[in-house]
Structure 1
Amino acid sequence: MRTRLFQDPVDAAAVLRDGGLCAIPTETVYGLAARADEASAVARVFEAKGRPSDNPLIVHLGDAAEADVIAHVTEVGRALLDAFAPGPLTVVLPARLGLPPAVTAGLDTVAIRVPAAPLALAVLGKTGPLVAPSANRSGRPSPTTWEAVIDDLDGRIGAVLQGPPTDVGIESTVVDATGDTPLILRPGAVTLDALRALVPNARAVDPGAEAARRSPGTRHRHYAPRARVRLVHSVDQAEPAPEAAWIGVSEPPPGYAQVTACADAADYARRLFDAFRRADAAGLGRIDAEVVPEVGIGVALLDRLRRAAAG
């Protein structure tokens, strides 16, 4: 099978309505989209990615009003959707009957979000709800460009909708809104402080907690390049070498094969996965990744860095 490249969301929507797979750009990362209501299409997502079957999928909607069709929207869930949709926030809610079991990994909850990227919304407006996990082979760094999708999935999926590099660069914040207390299951660009400004009792849970099972991206190896990721706390710990890359908010000493010096934590998050992939493409053996303060989007950035280093 040859993966086709499209620039028109009409073409991407046609592939998806027919039950095919098409990668689409969202504001977080590129997602591998398929019809959420068709079990065979959902199964092909797992096959193309090599994704573990106990890893639930996020259902993407074109409008928050569609949430009532697939979920029992709680009072907290409604407040979160009203405040943050469209945007990089996924809300976990009690699921209604009717979705293929693979979408929820057999759980009684469903994760939903409304992406903010215009191309994603244009597709969703012509297809209805879509599952759209990151469009990469399972365990690899998520793709932030259409070229990265092709690197991982060329010949394994029907099409890619070509768009610009993603704005956020890391996956959405996932919040459990099944009860009265919003629980961050996976950190992202919507921070705990932003949630608490709306719902003061919001809190984060440990990634190993039982509740985290309701979120994708918490139970399996994720975000890791082939190169070894070494976390460094300052440029004093830098170890320049011809087989190493650097990424961080500081300028390292000379001697690295690749250097990604970022303006701030948000820029770091935006460029992280692309830097991982460039290091792999160059055959480098090590990536020195500078640690940032664990505030704001730095919480999500450090989550991805720690997982990559563990991988």
Structure 2
Amino acid sequence: MLYDCRSPADRDRGIAAAIEAVKNGELVVLPTDTVYGIGADAFTPYAVKALLDAKGGRHVPPPVLIGSRHTLDGLVYSLPQAARDLVEAFWPGALTIVVEHSPSLRWDLGDTSGTVAVRMPLHPVALEVLRETGPMAVASANKTGQPAALTAEAARDQLAYSVRAYLEAGPCPDPVPSTIVDLTGDAPRVLRQGAVALEKLRDVVPDILAGQGV
């Protein structure tokens, strides 16, 4: 079912349907501030598997989206100061941080070696859903090897009936992927250059390193 979140009535119905679907272990497609994402409850292993199966191709552990900065403290055993500074500066926004997650978490995102890539997106629809569902495993809403979906309708063309609710909010205004920073080593390192430029990151964390190819 596709809901046009540009209509207030359809937005309310769509968000309610998406929240219910996630809590039932089903998949949803929702807008973010980068591209549309396909999401599932991060703590429901069969839902995460369904997400990866829907995308097809090579399976890599999906990142996790959260609806508030405070949620991060519940996921991470010990958050480095550099991570706190980056989150304060760039969340909600197009910055993904890789941190060591708490060993007590009961989730199965794949072979992550005890780490998780986490982000708080700057999109009101996504945040409204995430604040009710809790952390969601989310990947770009397209089949592996196909173009990223810039609308929910484009995502539906690829993912069809594998997704319970599609939330349409119009074309992505700035479909640049998030910048990814690894904070699990001795020094913060950029793994992928994206919407947040390296110079802006260094304004906050001067010793951040540029990874290979960045």
Q: TM over 0.5, yes or no?
A: yes
2:52 to 46, 51, 62: 46
What is the CA distance between 1:106 and its match in structure 2?
A: 3.5
Task: Quote the offset at 1:133 in angstroms.
Answer: 0.6
Q: Find the counterpart in structure 2 of residue 100 from structure 1.
A: 107
Q: Deviations over 1:173-216 (max 9, x none)?
A: 11001245221111110010010111111122115xxxxxxxxx
Tell me which structure has the larger Cα radius of gyration. Answer: 1
**Residue 71 of structure 2 aligns with which residue?**
66
2:17–2:165: 8 Å Cα contact kept in structure 1? no
* One-letter amino acid of the structure 2 residue matched with residue 59 of structure 1: V
Compute the displacement of 1:146 (Å). Answer: 1.3
- Deviations, residues 98-131 of structure 1 (Å, cap 9, x unaligned): 2423x25242211110000010001111111111
Separation in 2, partners of 1:200, 1:180: 14
Q: Which runs of 5+ in 1 are unaligned?
A: 208-298, 300-311
Percent identity between the two aligned chains: 37
Q: 1:5 aligns with which of 2, 10, 20?
A: 2
Equivalent residue number for residue 140 of structure 1: 146
* CA deviation vs aligned residue, 1:29-57 (integer Å, no higher than 9, x gap): 0010100111011010011001423x121
> Residues 186 and 99 from structure 1, CA distance in 2 versus in 1: closer, same or farther, beyond 3 angstroms?
farther
Once superposed, which parts of structure 1, at least 4 consecutive aligned residues long, lie more than 6 Å away?
Answer: none
In the aligned structure 1, how far is the partner of 2:179 from the partner of 2:173? 15
Contact 1:13 / 1:126 at 8 angstroms: preserved in 2? yes
Structure 2: 5+ residue stretches without partners: 6-10
Structure 2 counterparts to residues 159-198 of structure 1, below 5 A = 159-198=165-204
Give, in whole Å, the separation in 2 of the partners of 1:195 and 1:157: 35
Distance 1:92 1:185 in 2: 9
Could you tell me how far apart the structure 1 residues matched to 2:80 and 2:170 are? 35
Distance in 2 between the 1:105 and 1:138 partners? Answer: 19
Mapped pair 1:25 → 2:31: yes
Is contact 2:34–2:172 with CA below 8 Å preserved after alignment? yes
Does the 8 A contact of 1:104 with 1:110 survive in 2? no
What's the C-alpha RMSD, in Å, of the aligned pairs?
1.5
Taking structure 2 as the reference length, the TM-score comes to 0.90
* 8 Å Cα contact 2:67/2:134 also seen in 1: yes
Letter of the 1:108 partner, please give it. G
1:121 paired residue number:
127
